[in-house]
Amino acid sequence: MSHTIDFIAHPDAALLRLLVAGLLGGLIGMERERAAHANGERMFAGVRTFPLFALLGASLTVVTGEIGMAVVAGFLAVAALAVVAYWRTSEHNEVGTTTESAALATYWTGAIAGSGALVLAAALGITIAVLLASKERLEAFPQAMSREELRATLTLAVIAAVILPLLPDTGYGPWGVWNPRSLWFVVVLVCGLSFAAFIAIRFWSAQQGIFVTGVLGGLASSTAVTVSLASQSRAMSSGGERLSIGAGLASTVMLVRVAVLTAVVNPAVLARLAPFLGAVAAGSIIAIAFLLRRSAQSAQQETGLTNPFQLREAIRFAVIFGLVLFVVEAARRYAGRWGIIAASALAGLVDVDAITLSLSSVSALGLPPETAAGGIAIAVLANTAAKASYAAWRGGRGFRTGVLTILGTGFVAGAIAIIASGLEHGR
């Protein structure tokens, strides 16, 4: 939907839209011109023509105030140029439609920018440029995939894009704690993180890919990262210790996530919680550094990672997740004065975000910050213990040893910090 502006009375808004369109067109044009020179191909459009396509789409949208017939007519004109260019290059056995297709997409990117949807236009334009620049890696990836890996990729697409939207988004069972869509989302999350690790390892080295997965996956769920990497480690011939470092990084990122959430909701809670989070992070980082140094000698070994994810393992974790949700709700309802401690410990078995937000919010309404910080600290330790237990139960030998070293060190450091700061008594 276009945001109409009076470009005569307010030229600054119109110029901003045109500027964004031109910059995005120039970005795509630079990539196309670089590729043409590198491959010795005839150039249909480059660093000057692509910005013109984007500016044409943007200016027509700005002037008319909508993506209407004038914009469509401009698109047909650009399409006609692309068809002529394809016909001329095909005479020289240079068959390919990538640049022509990019020209059409650039025009629509400009039109979207002209409508005022600058963020959408920027996302689209940058995505187009990245896809064009990643030609070699993108083309090599499917060629290197085995039949099993392709089947796993299609399975992930089905469980995420077909099954998940069809499941009811309502609570069932005692107290409505079991939401089918939420539980299946856990399956999708675990499988998706495993698949992300697989992709990262293919695009980067084994060690770099695992580290990227750990850091980025920790922003979503360090528990899911641990579960997914544990299942991967069982099928690996070697490299389990490096996978454990990825799980350790995810858990360290989780601590940063907890700090940010408490700072946003109630900074007073963070002031009491910070020593504990710092102690756990320091212990984990020291253990990670030790494992990195020890594994440096085997850095060139292959990981043996062949299966992007294991659906059965993800479903098993979702079942455990559902059972813990039931126990947490029961403790909250019937545990009396120990409800906060019990709910914190049980909630931490699967997730720390929910209990962190809950206690921080309640603290802002009257719960002492010391009590809220103590509950969050207990949840973090419970989550750490749960991940270590799952790694010991389902992980391979190298992964099991590494995770127990990292999380065990962090757990001990955190327990000492709780006692030293008096959080166990809510002081």
**SS3 category, 43:** coil
Q: Measured over all CA atoms, what is the biggest interatomic distance in the chain, rounded to whole angstroms?
A: 82
pLDDT attached to residue 208: 72
- The answer to whether residue 6 sits within a structural domain is no
Does one domain contain both 99 and 182? no
Structure tokens at 411: 């757990």
pLDDT in tens, the chain (427 residues): 455 556 666 677 888 999 999 999 999 999 888 887 777 666 677 788 899 999 999 999 988 888 889 999 999 999 998 888 778 766 655 556 788 889 999 999 999 999 989 999 999 999 999 888 887 777 666 666 667 677 777 888 898 889 999 999 998 888 887 889 988 987 887 777 777 766 766 666 556 767 777 887 787 778 888 887 887 787 666 667 788 898 999 899 999 989 988 898 889 999 999 999 999 999 999 999 998 887 665 544 444 455 556 677 778 778 877 876 677 667 667 765 467 677 788 878 877 877 887 777 767 767 788 888 888 999 999 999 999 998 888 888 888 899 999 999 999 999 999 988 876 655 5
**SS3 category, 247:** helix
pLDDT attached to residue 10: 67
pLDDT attached to residue 403: 93
DSSP string, 314-380: HHHHHHHHHHHHHHHHHHHHH-GGGHHHHHHHHHTTT-SHHHHHHHHHHHHTTS-HHHHHHHHHHHH
Mark which of 107, 133, 159 sits at the end of a domain: 133
pLDDT attached to residue 301: 46
- The answer to whether residue 2 sits within a structural domain is no
Cβ atoms of 85 and 50 closer than 8 Å: no
Nearest one of 2, 135, 106 to 63, comparing CA atoms: 2
Does one domain contain both 84 and 233? no
Does one domain contain both 226 and 154? yes
Nearest one of 82, 18, 94 to 56, comparing CA atoms: 18
Rounded to 5°, angle at Cα 363 from 360 and 366: 165
Mark which of 133, 158, 179 sits at the end of a domain: 133
Mark which of 133, 168, 199 sits at the end of a domain: 133
Structure tokens at 79: 């399409």
Does one domain contain both 355 and 278? yes
Residue 404 belongs to what domain range?
Answer: 143-425
Does one domain contain both 101 and 23? yes
Does one domain contain both 127 and 163? no
Does one domain contain both 109 and 255? no
- The answer to whether residue 184 sits within a structural domain is yes
Does one domain contain both 392 and 258? yes
- The answer to whether residue 264 sits within a structural domain is yes
For 337, phi and psi rounded to 5 degrees?
-70, -15
Burial (CB count <10 Å: 0-12, 13-18, 19+), residue 313: buried
Model pLDDT for residues 140-173, shown as the tens digit of each residue:
666 666 676 777 778 888 988 899 999 999 988 8
Does one domain contain both 150 and 235? yes
pLDDT attached to residue 331: 65
Does one domain contain both 95 and 196? no
- The answer to whether residue 94 sits within a structural domain is yes
- The answer to whether residue 148 sits within a structural domain is yes
**SS3 category, 408:** helix
**Whole-angstrom Cα distance, residue 141 to residue 213?**
18
**Whole-angstrom Cα distance, residue 91 to residue 308?**
43
- The answer to whether residue 397 sits within a structural domain is yes
Residue count of the chain, please give it: 427
Does one domain contain both 197 and 330? yes
> Total structural domains in the chain?
2
Does one domain contain both 295 and 349? yes
- The answer to whether residue 1 sits within a structural domain is no
